[in-house]
Amino acid sequence: MFDTRFAMRLTARAAPFVLLSCIAACGNEGPAACCTVGEPALRVVNAFTTPVDVLIDGTVAIASLTAGSIGTAAPASGSHTLVLRPTGAGGSVSQSITTTTGALNTIAAVRASNGALASAVLDDTGSVVPSGATKLRVLHLASGAGELQVYRTQPDYQQPVSWQFPFTYQAQPNELSAPFYQSTAGSWEVRIWQSPGDASGWATAPVKIVIPLKSGEKKTILILDNPGGGVRIELI
């Protein structure tokens, strides 16, 4: 039996796609789109268990970013010190970032294996998409969801196959290694459920999304905790 708390939300800034279905609790709204042209920008994904504050060079840039949500800031082009700290608590983590005009850096606040706050860079810097091809990646950043079943079809292969097994929360920065899969141009379909632990859940999966990609395009699906329970999706 499926968890009835399962939910999904898609961002307004995602590439065009068709949402096939989701359970009744599904929301239609998403975070505000972030401008990525002309000004450097920073996108922070809170994949931690509690709200976090985001500081840039000692100044709060995003206050109390709730768990499972995404916030943006626009620091000046150049080198900066980014600090993530649990709102109203200690245990902050810092790292250096370099912003460039027109670029969008993506950092995640994650829960380390010891439960402490850690940071992870989500930018894809080495996945080149050949002409005529497309690529897709899925990151499990829903700290409260446990193991999920994530299956896909792709433009050149219509039999549902597992994304990876087991697919659990990726807690440490060096574990954010869910692979990019490559296919031809066309539509990818991804479905997510909790049980059963095999492809038989494909037909009744509560989370279903189709992502059309053109030649040379790639996307990343983020699975995040939903504030009301269950999980939701952001496409970046």
When pLDDT is averaged across residues 21-41 and rounded to a whole number, the result is 41
Using one digit for the tens of pLDDT, what is the confidence trace for 57-80?
999 999 999 999 999 999 999 999
Average pLDDT, the chain: 82
DSSP-derived secondary structure for 66-110: PTT-EEEE-PPSEEEEEEEEETTS---EEEEEEE-TT-EEEEEEE
Q: Please list, in sequence order, all residues whose beta carbon lies within 8 angstroms of the beta carbon of residue 191, skipping any fewer than 6 positions away.
A: 150, 151, 152, 160, 201, 202, 205, 207, 208, 209
Q: Residue 4: which residues within 8 A CB-CB, separation 6 or more? A: 23, 25
What percentage of the chain has pLDDT greater than the value 70?
Answer: 80
pLDDT tens per residue, range 174-216: 556 678 999 999 999 999 999 999 999 999 998 899 999 999 9
- The pLDDT value recorded for residue 28 is 30
C-alpha pair distances (Å), 210 with each of 65, 148, 189? 29, 18, 4
How many CB atoms within 10 Å of residue 81? 12
Name the pLDDT band for 9 (thresholds 50, 70, 90).
very low
Specify the pTM: 0.80
Judge whether residue 30 has pLDDT over 80. no
Question: Is the confidence at residue 86, as pLDDT, over 60?
Answer: yes
Angle CA 152–157–160, to nearest 5? 35
Query: In sequence order, what are the beta bridge partners of 210?
Result: 18, 189
Does the pLDDT of residue 32 top 60, yes or no? no
Work out the pLDDT band at 4, boundaries 50, 70, 90: very low
Find the range with the poorest average confidence among 18-27, 59-68, 94-103, 151-160: 18-27
d(CA 26, CA 28) in angstroms, rounded, equals 7
In the predicted model, is pLDDT for residue 6 greater than 60? no
Distance, first Cα to last Cα, the chain? 30
Q: What is the pLDDT of residue 31?
A: 36
> Which pLDDT score is estimated for 11?
37
